[in-house]
């Protein structure tokens, strides 16, 4: 299926993202002060750039693991059906855990993942999302930390894709279709 033509308008600059990550790292350090090791779980694939920058900024001992969950496929609208494509490699029972998400839209994916991880009995389970679209929320869920609240726009960049494209952009941009 051919892709519709589009352009990308910058919404959040790379500089603004870096500054916000510094702030978030300080808040997370305060929350998890004294932890022997924080298990930082990235939701693949969109969070990989965010998680890399976040863990480098935090002054905490960390272990990184990943879950791959999907509710979009190659579309621009959530299917509301969350599938776990890759589960954790390590155990989280009794551990401090931070789940890192790129964007909270309808909330279905993060809600599903948090429910699944809670059943594994971590000591503490917190969430962070780089972007939040509260106007799209369909489940009652809010991340503990949010980088930026954005309007109901389809965005790409900084790890977030459209049909596996545009993850490499250093900024967050709004997709504007030209046809």
Provide the annotated active-site residues.
105
The CA distance from 73 to 160, in Å, is: 13
Supply φ then ψ for residue 11, to 5 degrees. -110, -45
Strand partners, 88: none
C-alpha 19/C-alpha 130 separation (Å) is 12
4: helix, strand or coil? coil
- In this structure, the number of other CB atoms found within 10 A of the CB of residue 19 comes to 11
Tokens of 171: 């900024």
DSSP code at position 3: P
How many C-beta neighbours within 10 Å does residue 33 have?
9
Is it true that the peptide bond before 145 is cis, omega within 30 degrees of 0? no
């Amino acid at each position: 299926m051919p892709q519709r033509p589009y352009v990308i308008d910058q919404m959040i600059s790379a500089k603004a993202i870096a500054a916000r990550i510094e702030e978030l790292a300080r808040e997370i350090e305060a929350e998890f002060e004294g932890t022997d090791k924080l298990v930082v779980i990235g939701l693949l694939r969109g969070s990989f750039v965010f998680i890399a920058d976040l863990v480098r900024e935090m002054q905490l001992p960390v272990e990184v693991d990943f879950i791959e969950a999907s509710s979009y496929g190659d579309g621009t609208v959530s299917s509301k059906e969350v599938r776990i494509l890759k589960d954790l490699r390590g155990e989280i029972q009794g551990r401090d855990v931070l789940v890192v998400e790129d964007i909270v839209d309808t909330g279905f994916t993060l809600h599903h993942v948090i429910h699944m991880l809670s059943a594994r009995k971590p000591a503490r389970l917190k969430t962070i999302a780089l972007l939040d679209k509260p106007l799209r929320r369909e489940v009652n869920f809010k991340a503990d930390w949010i980088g930026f609240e954005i309007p109901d726009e389809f965005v790409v960049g900084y790890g977030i894709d459209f049909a596996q494209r545009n993850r490499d952009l250093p900024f967050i941009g709004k997709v504007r279709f030209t046809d």
